[in-house]
């Protein structure tokens, strides 16, 4: 069966090389006589898998030695609660920047633990831009500042790093982590659900500065305490072993792409090709300010919405799937994560051109 070009926002496309390697190792991981899914997480085989995955991630992101890397469960959504539970206790306050649906969910959860100051929002223009820091109304007593550096639904991306001084900057990077180099030292905590650029859904990676660990209040459940997880090397309980294994294969694949500098060039070329079509005018339009457009999630609209269903139907016939926009905003969305090949984006823009010739 021929594979389609899958533009899903997540769970998302994985590198074919990774899938092929996982298939080859499914029944027998490197002479162990068993699948990774069958391994004890306390055995030397899996210990080597998780250790290498962490080492490769540290290398890719140049993670400083005073940061812990945690492989946890619950996806990014559980971090919406873990972060305030672990970090807000110092002042009982936190700043959040509201840039769309995922920031909104993070804000709602944080309000369960303390006072949330929405220091800035782009709601006035349907979350089509990133508020500049000069417009933020920050609380100097905030325990941390939270940003969503790429909004999967709205297609906006921070292409700059806020300067929050001595207040830790916390970032949800779920939908663009590993798409380009970042300076980890500018952040107090970074978290990312795996199902976009890392691996299977369910795994979340947390990169947290050591001085922010150990702040959870008494009574915090062990599974929600960063110190417990860090002290036990992400294995206080059974971790999502197969997801960690696939993530490790993805990290190795990224190294073969010349690392994050190499994958960034690839991603900019893909996004540029698609945005060029949207900027020509005619049938298609982008709702996002050019300076804040995501390289990973590209929402767009047909100027005649009556053609939406026809567009999706014909796209599927052309093996281009998962292009329907999120139900909260409508329209179309092409998620072009690291593993989406240039051939997929070319196939999409060719289809868009042909569709416009027939229906525009």
Residues linked to residue 333 through DSSP beta bridges, in sequence order: 299
Question: Among this protein's residues, is 253 annotated catalytic?
Answer: no
Task: Give DSSP secondary structure letters for 258-297.
Answer: THHHHHHHHHHHHHHHHHHHHHT-TTEE--S-GGGB-SSE
Q: What is the pLDDT of residue 244?
A: 98
Do 170 and 317 lie in one domain? The reply is no
Name the CA radius of gyration of the chain, rounded.
Answer: 21
Distances (CA, A) of 240 to 12, 16, 37: 18, 22, 9
Asked whether residue 2 is domain-assigned, the answer is no
197-201-202 Cα angle (round to 5): 125
Question: Among this protein's residues, is 172 annotated catalytic?
Answer: yes
CATH code (residue 161):
3.40.640.10
Do 114 and 247 lie in one domain? The reply is yes
**From the candidates 196, 225, 292, 324, which is the catalytic residue?**
196
Do 26 and 98 lie in one domain? The reply is yes
Do 35 and 141 lie in one domain? The reply is yes
Q: Which domain holds residue 189?
A: 17-256
Question: Which distant-in-sequence residues (6+ apart) come within 8 Å of 51 by Cβ?
Answer: none
Do 120 and 250 lie in one domain? The reply is yes
Do 86 and 25 lie in one domain? The reply is yes
Predicted model pTM: 0.96
Q: What is the pLDDT of residue 1?
A: 58
Question: What values do phi and psi take at 65, rounded to 5?
Answer: -70, -20
Asked whether residue 332 is domain-assigned, the answer is yes
Question: Among this protein's residues, is 196 annotated catalytic?
Answer: yes
CATH code (residue 352):
3.90.1150.10
Asked whether residue 96 is domain-assigned, the answer is yes
| Domain C-terminal end among 256, 284, 306 | 256
Asked whether residue 12 is domain-assigned, the answer is no
Do 59 and 205 lie in one domain? The reply is yes
CA dist 173 and 183 (Å) reads 13
**From the candidates 56, 95, 172, 292, which is the catalytic residue?**
172
**From the candidates 29, 102, 136, 253, which is the catalytic residue?**
102
Q: What is the pLDDT of residue 248?
A: 98
Q: What is the pLDDT of residue 329?
A: 87
Distances (CA, A) of 52 to 81, 198, 242, 311, 348: 29, 15, 14, 44, 36
Per-residue pLDDT tens for 212-246? 999 999 999 999 999 999 999 999 999 999 999 99
Q: How many domains in the chain? A: 2
Q: What is the largest CA-CA distance in the chain?
A: 65
Residues linked to residue 5 through DSSP beta bridges, in sequence order: 320
| Domain C-terminal end among 196, 223, 256 | 256
Q: Is 178 left (phi over 0), alpha (psi -120 to 50) or beta?
A: left
Do 247 and 229 lie in one domain? The reply is yes
Q: What is the pLDDT along the chain (360 residues), one digit of tens a residue?
A: 589 999 999 999 999 999 999 999 999 999 999 999 999 999 899 999 999 999 999 999 999 999 999 999 999 999 999 999 999 988 999 999 999 999 999 999 999 999 999 999 999 999 999 999 999 999 999 999 999 999 999 999 999 999 999 999 999 999 999 999 999 999 999 999 999 999 999 999 999 999 999 999 999 999 999 999 999 999 999 999 999 999 999 999 999 999 999 999 999 999 999 999 999 989 999 999 999 999 999 999 999 999 999 999 999 999 999 999 988 888 999 999 999 999 999 999 999 999 999 987
Do 237 and 271 lie in one domain? The reply is no
Q: What is the pLDDT of residue 90?
A: 80
Closest CA to 172 of 145, 154, 199: 145
Q: Where are the alpha helices (DSSP H) in the chain?
A: 16-24, 44-61, 75-87, 101-110, 226-231, 241-256, 259-279, 308-317, 342-359
């Amino acid at each position: 069966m021929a594979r389609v070009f899958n533009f899903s926002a997540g769970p998302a496309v994985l590198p074919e090389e990774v899938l092929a390697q996982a298939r080859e190792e499914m029944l027998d991981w490197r002479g162990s006589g068993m699948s990774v899914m069958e391994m004890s997480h306390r055995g030397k085989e899996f210990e080597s898998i998780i250790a290498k995955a962490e080492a490769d991630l540290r290398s890719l992101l140049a993670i400083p030695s005073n940061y812990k890397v945690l492989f946890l469960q619950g996806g990014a959504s559980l971090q919406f609660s873990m972060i305030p539970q672990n970090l807000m206790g110092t002042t009982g306050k936190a700043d959040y920047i509201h840039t769309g649906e995922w920031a909104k969910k993070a804000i709602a959860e944080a309000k369960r633990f303390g006072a949330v100051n929405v220091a800035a929002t782009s709601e006035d223009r349907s979350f089509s831009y990133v508020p500049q820091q000069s417009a933020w109304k920050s609380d100097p007593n905030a325990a941390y500042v939270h940003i969503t550096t790429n909004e999967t639904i709205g297609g906006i991306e921070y292409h700059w790093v806020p300067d929050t001084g001595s207040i830790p900057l916390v970032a949800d990077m779920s939908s663009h982590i590993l798409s380009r180099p970042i300076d980890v030292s500018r952040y107090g905590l970074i978290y990312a659900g795996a199902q976009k650029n890392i691996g299977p859904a369910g795994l979340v990676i947390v990169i947290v500065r050591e001085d922010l660990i150990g702040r959870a209040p008494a009574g915090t459940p062990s599974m929600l305490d960063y110190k417990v997880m860090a002290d036990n090397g992400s294995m206080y309980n059974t971790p999502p072993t197969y997801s960690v294994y696939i993530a490790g294969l993805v990290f190795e694949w990224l190294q073969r792409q010349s690392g994050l500098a190499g994958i960034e060039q690839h991603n900019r070329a893909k996004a540029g090709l698609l945005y060029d079509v949207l900027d020509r005018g005619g049938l298609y339009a982008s709702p996002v300010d050019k300076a804040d457009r995501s390289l990973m999630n590209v929402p767009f609209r047909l100027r005649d919405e009556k053609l939406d269903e026809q567009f999706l139907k014909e796209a599927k016939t052309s093996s281009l799937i998962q292009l329907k926009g999120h139900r909260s905003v409508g329209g179309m969305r092409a998620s072009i994560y690291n593993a989406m090949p240039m051939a997929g984006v070319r196939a999409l823009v060719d289809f868009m051109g042909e569709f416009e010739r027939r229906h525009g």
